[in-house]
Amino acid sequence: MSRAALLVLADGRFPAGGHAHSGGAEAAVKAGRITGAADLEEFCRGRLHTAGLVSASLAAAAALGVDPVELDGAADARTPSPALRIAARKLGRQLMRAGRATWPSAELDALAGRFPKGAHQPVVLGVVARAAGLGADDAAYCSLYECVSGPASAVVRLLSLDPFDATGVLAGLAPELDVVAQRAVEGARCAVEGGVGVLPAGGAPLLEIGAEAHAAWAVRLFAS
């Protein structure tokens, strides 16, 4: 395992399409739920413990070698909003392209062939992590970090938030991220024996509802 490979995969500039998505932040800003750094922190904390935990456990399970087709079904079951499913598959497809170009692997080729229009992003992330020689915990960390860093950088653009404040929010959440990463990996390990049904299934209804509303806007900066 290479620690540097983790930096490559976790880098916000890894060209996998994330820059065009706000992780629900644009909808929350418009609704007045995020107006500054303090709200951003609460928003990210909520995301971390709900959608974040679910995504990270899917990624970790894929990194452990759990069948990605079953994991994709599990991701669908945990994503009620059609708009979020579409966004997750789009991002999965983009990550697949970047992952295959960066760490060519037969497993990635097979997954791309099975889902030509994209599997759920966390599932692809786990298989990419495997291809990069990374482990389940690395996949969980990547997934959780992008679950909070995406909204943070989007809010810098949407509210002209001081970028140092946004980065401070991420640093402040780091200890919690460690805890959630551990839970995600534990959940993934259970799924190796117990099947994908035992993976965490927490949800954030406001994120789902916000995503549906956002997808219908005529004018928006971010794709989701």
Partner 1 sequence: MHLDQGHTHDGPVAVSADAHRADGRRRALRIGLGGPVGSGKTATVAALCRALRDEWSLAVVTNDIYTREDAEFLLREAVLPPERITAVETGACPHTAIRDDISANLEAVEDLEDEVGPLELILVESGGDNLTATFSKGLVDAQIFVIDVAGGDDIPRKGGPGVTTADLLVVNKTDLAPYVGSDLGRMAADAKAQRGELPVVFQSLRAEGGDGVEAVADWVRARLAAWAA
User: Which residues of the shown chain bind partner 1 in the complex (CB under 8 A)?
Assistant: 13, 15-22, 65, 67-69, 90, 93-94, 97-98, 100-101, 104, 106-107, 109-114, 116, 154, 157-158, 218-223
- Shortest distance in whole angstroms from residue 223 CB to partner 1: 4
Largest CA distance in the chain: 47
Evaluate the CA torsion angle 41, 152, 25, 183 in order and state its sign: negative
- Shortest distance in whole angstroms from residue 142 CB to partner 1: 16
Q: Quick one: 127 or 181, whose CB is closer to partner 1?
A: 127
Q: Quick one: 3 or 117, whose CB is closer to partner 1?
A: 117
Write the DSSP symbol of residue 67.
-
CA 154-143-5 angle, to 5 degrees, is 105
Q: What is the dihedral of CA 105, 61, 211, 30, to 10 degrees?
A: -100
- Shortest distance in whole angstroms from residue 215 CB to partner 1: 11
End-to-end CA distance of the chain: 33
- Shortest distance in whole angstroms from residue 194 CB to partner 1: 17
Q: Quick one: 19 or 33, whose CB is closer to partner 1?
A: 19
Q: Quick one: 94 or 177, whose CB is closer to partner 1?
A: 94
- Shortest distance in whole angstroms from residue 10 CB to partner 1: 15
Ramachandran bin of 67, using left for φ above 0, alpha for ψ from -120 to 50, beta for the remaining angles: beta
- Shortest distance in whole angstroms from residue 104 CB to partner 1: 7
Q: Quick one: 45 or 47, whose CB is closer to partner 1?
A: 47
CA 200 from centroid of its chain's CA atoms? 14
Residues sharing a CB contact under 8 Å with residue 114, sequence separation 6 or more, in sequence order: 68, 69
Residue 33, burial from CB neighbour count under 10 angstroms (0-12, 13-18, 19+): middle
Q: Quick one: 209 or 215, whose CB is closer to partner 1?
A: 215
